DNA sequence: CGCGTTTACGTCGTTCGTAACGATA
DNA sequence: TATCGTTACGAACGACGTAAACGCG
């Protein structure tokens, strides 16, 4: 059994049991991959795949078990390389982050800027997707960090470091009648207008719908998007009242939109940064976490890396201590 | 990075940083091992060991981390081989068990006999030691199972399947005055005689000393051994009153010794069989567990293998349901 | 000078890529 | 016939073992 055989095995699996595609991905010849697979199966004395004629048909039951172990092995091999890189190539490497649009567009820019200043040679990859897609990416692909909100169940294998909390904001055209209320806005007020907001499958956001239901209200959602910019565009067109994360209610929007704080109307959300508990974090990765979750002390972060599970982490923080990010407050995170 | 380089690395570490010894253990030449270590260090770009002249001095800080990961990798590689063996060599393999004298001498014989009948081709290795030695063996060596009593803290990384509970028995010469009591024996009675019992460091047995202390008694322990046979020998010599595990009070002993049940005098102990949670159990290993912990259903055992931690296992059983092994009751486990 | 490691070198086995072949839809 | 996997073969590489040199106590 060789590491490369396991690597090829995983490449085959990750390319839909297509050996040719796997070979291309590994920058090697197809017969080589084919042969190594055969050698591995011979050494183990078992079939890892069923064959359909000459093509690979399916993964055998035993094959699944082997693949699972092979992934652990490759992961730890990567970890060893990671450890080593930290010693002689401190400022070289790359950082892949999977996150949602709101984070990528409104929260990360200033953090990324600071990070690039400190580590100019580190390549940064930003992968955008829904919570589900992020969960997929981090479990299969080579993603270092996930940054998202809520939905702890989707990310059970990750260590989640909470960063900040946030509420929703209501976004309407400047002359909208909701701007003329002389009292705090209520859900009843909102229910009387057509709403434009995030798609509900969007991690944790369905709590929005439930907030209405809890008061026996039926919100009139006319349009959903997964992108705050799209929502604001439609609000500008007068299609309805927008409900977005407060971070997405940018200062620049205030020129032609009115932003009403919706604190208290909906449950407060917590955004975190997560990483695989079996991953070795390179120095610049730890620094990124500290940038993103700036209230975390170096000492606490050490504890987290030693913690065995998410539950352990929860004991290390009081959620109430997390900063709250509001609308149009630049530099909150960087300044802390 | 090659699997063999990692294997050599671990061999070097496990042989006290002596490359020559490591090479012998791996049945290969010494320069080969030396060279592979060098290649590995070159590829990683870091020193895994400090050098004292030409010899290896110590493991570097980073080296420790690499070694830790390398162990995981080798373990999973073994697991893959294990999985494979289960498919085409069902009845070949070996089973290494670390346990205490009492188990090896009085409990395991009938189980081993049954196991050998079912799996005549499986090699059986019985390693005997104190709880501490057993803990050492299973964490470093290639031991499949640990069988012991109490001391959960020593075996935190293991999955512990409880098998049975037991009490102590008092062993005295047939005409001893303790045999003439017409009431149940008490700790006070015992405290008035010289005692012969297990060494206290012997896992969980120090609870014996505490039982006396809790009643303000000072036991007069004249002799300790880690071996029930030795204890009984000295009891026969009239050196004192023996306190042994009830399983060790054999039927054959009754010819010249009187056995008094000490149930209730000391806390009841639970004996379990433990295995590494990251180990793949071959079919015959699962069967061994079922032989040893015969009250466990196949379904429960499946659940255990899927469980993530010792805590999860504890939820699967009621300790109160475990059988109690008494003195001189042959075939209890086999018959259940 | 013994012990242990490294260097040097020849041998042998393995991997890899190219090219040709076989099977499948 | 296009796609995908296997077989065949020669070239390059890498691992291994023997023999010898080196450093340290």
Question: Is residue A201 pLDDT above 70, yes or no?
Answer: no
Mark the nucleotides of strand C covered by protein, meaning any atom under 7 Å from a CB.
4-8, 15-20, 22-25
Q: Which residues contact A280 (CB under 8 A, 6 or more apart)?
A: A79, A82, A83, B65, B69
- Per-residue HEC secondary structure of B87-102 comes to HHCCCCEEEEEEECHH
Across B104-123, average pLDDT: 88
B12 CA to D14 C1' distance (Å): 22
Tell me the percentage of chain A whose pLDDT exceeds 90.
27
Q: Which is it for strands A55-59 and A49-52: parallel, antiparallel or unpaired?
A: antiparallel
In angstroms, the Cα distances linking B278 to B197, B274, B307, B325 are 36, 12, 11, 30
DSSP structure class, residue B85: H
Instruction: Kindly state the helix (H) or strand (E) to which residue A301 belongs, with its residue range.
Output: helix A298-306
What is the dihedral sign for C-alpha A40, A41, A42, A45? Answer: positive
Tell me the percentage of chain A whose pLDDT exceeds 70.
93
Which string of DSSP letters, residue by residue, matches A256-296? TEEEEE-BTTB--EEEEEEEETTSPPPHHHHHHHHHHTTTS
In angstroms, the Cα distances linking B301 to B122, B156, B316 are 21, 19, 10
Reported confidence tier of residue A79, pLDDT bands at 50, 70, 90? very high
Q: Does residue A125 approach strand D to less than 7 Å at its CB?
A: no
Spatial distance between the Cα atoms of A203 and A146, rounded to a whole number of angstroms: 13
Across B264-278, average pLDDT: 88
Reported confidence tier of residue B328, pLDDT bands at 50, 70, 90? low
How much is the mean pLDDT over chain B? 84
Any long-range contacts for B82-88 (C-beta under 8 Å, 24+ apart)?
A: B82/B279, B82/B280, B82/B282, B83/A44, B83/A62, B83/A65, B83/A66, B83/A69, B83/B280, B84/A44, B84/A45, B84/A46, B84/A62, B84/A66, B85/A45, B85/B282, B86/B282, B86/B283, B87/A45, B87/A46, B87/A62, B88/A45, B88/A46
Closest of B50, B45, B43, B79 to residue B64, by C-alpha = B50
pLDDT of amino acid B31: 92
Strand (E) positions, chain A? 49-52, 55-59, 93-99, 122-128, 145-149, 158-166, 168-173, 194-198, 220-225, 241-245, 257-261, 269-276, 324-325
Contact A81 B2 (CB under 8 A): no
Spatial distance between the Cα atoms of A246 and A106, rounded to a whole number of angstroms: 10
A15-43: pLDDT as tens digits: 889 999 999 989 999 999 999 999 899 88
Question: Which residue has its C-alpha nearest to nucleotide D8's C1'?
Answer: A31
Spatial distance between the Cα atoms of A43 and B77, rounded to a whole number of angstroms: 13
Spatial distance between the Cα atoms of A332 and A248, rounded to a whole number of angstroms: 14
Contact B62 A87 (CB under 8 A): yes
Question: Is residue B42 pLDDT above 60, yes or no?
Answer: yes
Closest of B296, B291, B292 to residue B316, by C-alpha = B296
Question: Is residue A203 pLDDT above 70, yes or no?
Answer: no
Across B226-247, average pLDDT: 87
Question: Is residue A247 pLDDT above 80, yes or no?
Answer: yes
Q: Which residues contact B278 (CB under 8 A, 6 or more apart)?
A: B72, B75, B76, B79
Footprint of strand C on the protein (CB under 7 A): A 2, 4, 27-32, 35-36, 39, 52-55; B 17-20, 30-31, 34-35, 37-38, 51, 54-56
β-sheet with A324-325: strand ranges across: A122-128, A93-99, A145-149, A269-276, A158-166, A324-325
DSSP structure class, residue B251: G
Reported confidence tier of residue B333, pLDDT bands at 50, 70, 90? very low
Helix axes A61-88, A3-14, angle to 10 degrees: 110
pLDDT of amino acid B332: 42
B58-82: pLDDT as tens digits: 888 889 999 999 999 999 999 999 9
Across B278-300, average pLDDT: 88
pTM (2 decimals)?
A: 0.76
Helix axes A283-292, A108-118, angle to 10 degrees: 150
Question: Is residue B296 pLDDT above 70, yes or no?
Answer: yes
B45 neighbourhood in chain A, CB within 8 Å: 84-85, 87-89
Contact B196, B73 (CB under 8 A): no
Q: Which residue has the higher pLDDT, A283 or A199?
A: A283
B81 neighbourhood in chain A, CB within 8 Å: 1, 44
Question: Is residue A205 pLDDT above 70, yes or no?
Answer: no
Rounded to 5°, angle at Cα A14 from A11 and A18: 75
The radius of gyration of chain B's CA atoms, rounded to the nearest angstrom, is 24
Query: A259 φ, ψ to 5°?
Result: -115, 120
Question: Which residue has its C-alpha nearest to nucleotide D15's C1'?
Answer: B32
Q: Which residues contact A202 (CB under 8 A, 6 or more apart)?
A: A100, A130, A131, A226
Q: Does residue A328 approach strand D to less than 7 Å at its CB?
A: no
Question: Which residue has its C-alpha nearest to nucleotide C8's C1'?
Answer: B31
Q: Which residue is closest to A75 within chain B, CA to CA?
A: B73
Contact B190, B179 (CB under 8 A): no
Contact B239, B223 (CB under 8 A): yes
Across A155-178, average pLDDT: 88
Question: Is residue A336 pLDDT above 60, yes or no?
Answer: no
Beta bridge partners of A122: A93
Q: Which residue has the higher pLDDT, B329 or A62?
A: A62
Contact A2 B1 (CB under 8 A): no
Reported confidence tier of residue A329, pLDDT bands at 50, 70, 90? low
pLDDT of amino acid A210: 79
β-sheet with B145-149: strand ranges across: B122-128, B93-99, B145-149, B269-276, B158-166, B324-325
Domains present along chain B, CATH in parentheses: 3-86 (1.10.10.10), 93-165+269-325 (3.40.190.10), 166-268+328-333 (3.40.190.10)
Spatial distance between the Cα atoms of B321 and B312, rounded to a whole number of angstroms: 17
Contact B73, A84 (CB under 8 A): no
Reported confidence tier of residue B331, pLDDT bands at 50, 70, 90? very low
In angstroms, the Cα distances linking B12 to A47, A224, B74 are 34, 61, 14
B65 neighbourhood in chain A, CB within 8 Å: 83, 280
């Amino acid at each position: 059994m060789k590491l490369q055989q396991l690597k090829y095995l995983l490449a085959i699996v990750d390319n839909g049991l297509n050996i040719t595609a796997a070979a291309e991905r590994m920058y090697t010849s197809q017969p080589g991959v084919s042969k190594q697979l055969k050698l591995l199966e011979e050494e183990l004395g078992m079939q890892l795949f069923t064959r359909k004629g000459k093509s690979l048909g399916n993964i055998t039951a035993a094959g699944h078990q082997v693949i699972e172990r092979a992934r652990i092995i490759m992961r730890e091999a990567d970890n060893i390389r990671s450890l080593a890189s930290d010693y002689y190539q401190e400022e070289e490497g790359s950082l892949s982050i999977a996150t949602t649009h709101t984070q990528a567009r409104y929260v990360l820019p200033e953090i990324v800027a600071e990070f690039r200043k400190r580590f100019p040679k580190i390549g940064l990859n930003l992968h955008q997707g829904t919570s589900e897609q992020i969960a997929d990416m981090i479990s299969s692909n080579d993603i270092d960090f996930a940054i998202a909100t809520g939905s702890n169940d989707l990310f059970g294998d990750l260590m989640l470091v909470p960063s900040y909390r946030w509420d929703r904001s209501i976004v309407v055209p400047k002359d909208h009648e909701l701007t003329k209320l002389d009292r705090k806005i209520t859900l009843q007020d909102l229910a009387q207008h057509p709403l434009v907001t995030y798609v509900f499958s969007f991690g944790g956001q369905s709590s929005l719908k439930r907030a209405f239901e809890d008061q026996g209200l039926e919100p009139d959602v006319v349009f959903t998007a997964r992108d705050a910019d799209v929502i604001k565009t439609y609000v500008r067109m007068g299609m309805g009242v927008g409900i977005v994360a407060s971070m997405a209610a940018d200062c620049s929007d205030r020129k032609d939109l009115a932003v009403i704080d919706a604190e208290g109307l909906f449950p407060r959300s917590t955004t975190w940064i997560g990483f695989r508990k079996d991953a070795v974090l390179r120095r610049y990765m730890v620094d990124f976490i500290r940038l993103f979750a700036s209230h975390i002390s170096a000492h606490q972060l050490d504890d987290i890396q030693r913690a065995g599970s998410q539950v352990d982490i929860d004991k290390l923080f009081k959620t109430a201590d997390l900063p709250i990010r509001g609308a149009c407050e630049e530099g909150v995170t960087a300044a802390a």
